[in-house]
Chains A and B, each alone.
Chain A
Amino acid sequence: MIRLEKRPQPSRLWTIVTPLLAVVLTMVVGGIMFALLGKPPLEAIRTIFWDPLFHPQFAGYSRPQLLVKAGPLILIAIGLSIGFKAGIWNIGAEGQYIMGAVCGAAVGLAFYPSESVLLFPLMVVAGALGGWAWAMIPAVLKTRFGTNEILVSLMLVYVAENILASASAGWLRSPEGMGFPGSRNFKQWPAVFNDELVANTGMHWGVVAAFIAVIGAYALMARHIQGFNIRLTGEAPRAARFSGVSPVRIVFLCLGISGALAGMAGLFEVTGPAGQITIDFNSGYGFTAIIVAFLGRLHPVGILLAGLLMALTYIGGELAQLMLGLPGASIQLFQGMLLFFLLATDVFTNYRIRFAKGELA
């Protein structure tokens, strides 16, 4: 009989091994799935994991694109991970991402066609504030009325989507768009275009911000008293309260940070790679970032790596569709497997398997 026995302490070895094991298992089971679909499994795996980095025809383009795709995921996931550590579940980063983009873009467009160098920083601040304000709604409702932040933040995503729709079809619509929805394109406005800082590297301000966030989060969680308070609140809420940590303040702090970072991610995306506010501007970064946060074990460096891995599966998945004709849904399934196997193998971090003789009743 197989039994799971709780480890007195989480295994350090397994903490490191499980993400790698999850990737390997995903490759194996994913390969079987691709084979069942009648596609060459090894070639499919190679196309997803290898080609975006080293294929002579694509890599020159797709390598920088990894950063473009991973940047917002990392920036949002870092913010979420801080809250998750404290047991505060902000599921609505997608909404905060949208509101950051809408607020930042609105501030910028209000000054169109200004060429001031101050405009872009102002928009970044507005974007961060937009995301922050949107996250403050669940924070206030939770601390005042004890509502569940998971539900409130998630529901606010749908509200934000409707605000986005009304912005792109109405009050932020480009006057030169002949009545079609969509704002002016920031790519045609050099003063605020969040272009690559060095050509062909994919590095735009959002990616820089993501790296700074990784370092900042590391410093906060490892070195700062607030980081300790956050962890304590998550691991032992009662102990935290007795030692004088205000749970209300932690809620505001965590939701505030994650909202502001998600808002900034939205602003960098709308002024950079996306270029304009459109009805479907949000493409799920806020939700995917939740996966990235857990894949990275809520650790800043882990999130950095997880974000890059997730970006790799996106770009590689696109190549696999293109080159091998794999259906899009199989790629999504493949990404889902990654999270599934991570959570499944996670058991071994906290438990060990015991093979014991069955006890007779």
Chain B
Amino acid sequence: MKRRTLLASAAMGLALAAAPAFAQDKPKIGFVYVGPVNDGGWSQHHHESAMKMKEHFGDQIELIEQESVPEGADAERVLTQMALSGADLIFTTSFGYMDPTINVAAKFPDVKFEHATGYKTADNVSAYSARFYEGRAVTGYLAGAMTKSNKIGYIGSFPIPEVIRGINSSFLHAKKANPDVEMSVVWLSTWFDPAKEADATQALLDQGVDVVLAHTDSTAPLSVLEKAGGYGFGQAADMYDYAPEPRLSSIIDDWAPYYIDRVQAIVDGTWESHNVWQGIGDGMVGIGEITGPVPEDVKATAEQMKADIAAGDYHPFTGPINKQDGSAWLAEGEVAEDGVLAGMDFYVEGLTGEIPN
């Protein structure tokens, strides 16, 4: 009974909302961001990609955005209001929006949703995510090749599969460049906190680490490395201000091609739900120009690796790979399945320390 009234009222709202949308006949595209659009990291990239998408379509579409939306109950309300306001397609750009997106989508069957980095889909909900671990293979290789102390550091945010994949991928490829390499991982429990990131970088340097990889979004690690010495990488953005040193290269999130593609599908009326995981090959993950004192042969190998991954000739998780406890995971030549990668909760052999929980 309850559900029926809810659906009825939602349908009523939808009917009201749909009227102006049809009158204008102009698709209305909504974006919801977890942070402010100038956070310098995750949300800013989604926003900039949305702006590129808007530039591409011009007056053909209408763009509505909402920033700093907390995950959970608030997200559900914001999404409902967006749907009521006549949005045709809504991108929810943070993992924590997954359940709210699914809940609201159930009430608005005619509105399409695209949820970033989750795993739940529905007839009107797509999931999209980036294979950042492909990029981390390249930066990990560079880190392994460039360390003189044989110690590299990794600043982790939260111990979730996405981050653990990045750590494993970086470490495996650092070892390819330098079999003696050791990696220390620091967990910060935040995606963006310049002060904490700077402290963590300094702590790693104090342990003898001379190359730092980060899965947090600020430029603080590079800024510390610039003063204290050592190498680092741009994260999420190119961070070219820190090139040629200490920034050696970068992993860049570029959602624009995907957004243009999906909005085009709405314009054409061909949108269908899917669950995609795109990498270097599709342009969702970019590798910034390799700078600094990277030797020519290292640079060539890294670029070859990037090209092979893009072409699908090389998978960063190709056996033989053992788990941290020494048990076998992938046999010689075997490639990791997406399902295992999606839920990765273990370190590969050679990494020290434990994944916190």
Contact = CB atoms under 8 A, between A and B. Distances in A.
Interface of A: 56-58, 60-62, 65, 68-69, 161-162, 165-166, 169-171, 173, 178-182, 185, 187, 195-196, 199-200, 269, 272-276, 278-281, 283-284, 315, 318-319, 321-323, 325, 327-329, 332
The 9 closest A-B pairs by CB, nearest first: A170-B357, A273-B73, A283-B70, A179-B343, A274-B72, A178-B343, A328-B67, A328-B68, A199-B5
B80 A61 contact: yes
B356 A170 contact: yes
B84 to A, nearest CB: 6
Interface string B45-84: 0000000000000000000111111111110111011101
Contact of B84 (A58, A180, A269, A325): A58
B189 A165 contact: yes
Contacts of B119: 178, 180
B95 interface: yes
Interface of B: 1-2, 5-6, 9, 12-13, 16-17, 30, 34, 36-37, 64-74, 76-78, 80-82, 84-85, 95-96, 99, 103, 118-119, 158-161, 189, 342-345, 356-357
B343 to A, nearest CB: 4
Give the interface centre of A276, A283, A323 by most chain B CB atoms within 10 Å: A283
Contact of B161 (A180, A272, A281): A180
A26 B207 CA distance: 52
B2 A199 contact: yes
B36 to A, nearest CB: 6
A328 to B, nearest CB: 4
Contacts of A179: 160-161, 342-345
B13 A61 contact: yes
A169 B159 contact: yes
Given A57-B16, A178-B343, A179-B160, A322 B189 contact: no
Contacts of B160: 169, 179-181
Given A56-B16, A179-B343, A200-B9, A321 B161 contact: no
Contact of B357 (A166, A180, A283, A319): A166
Q: Which of B70, B74, B76, B189 has the most CB of A within 10 A?
A: B74
A251 to B, nearest CB: 31
Residue from A57, A60, A195 whose CB has the most chain B CB atoms within 10 Å: A57
A327 B17 CA distance: 23
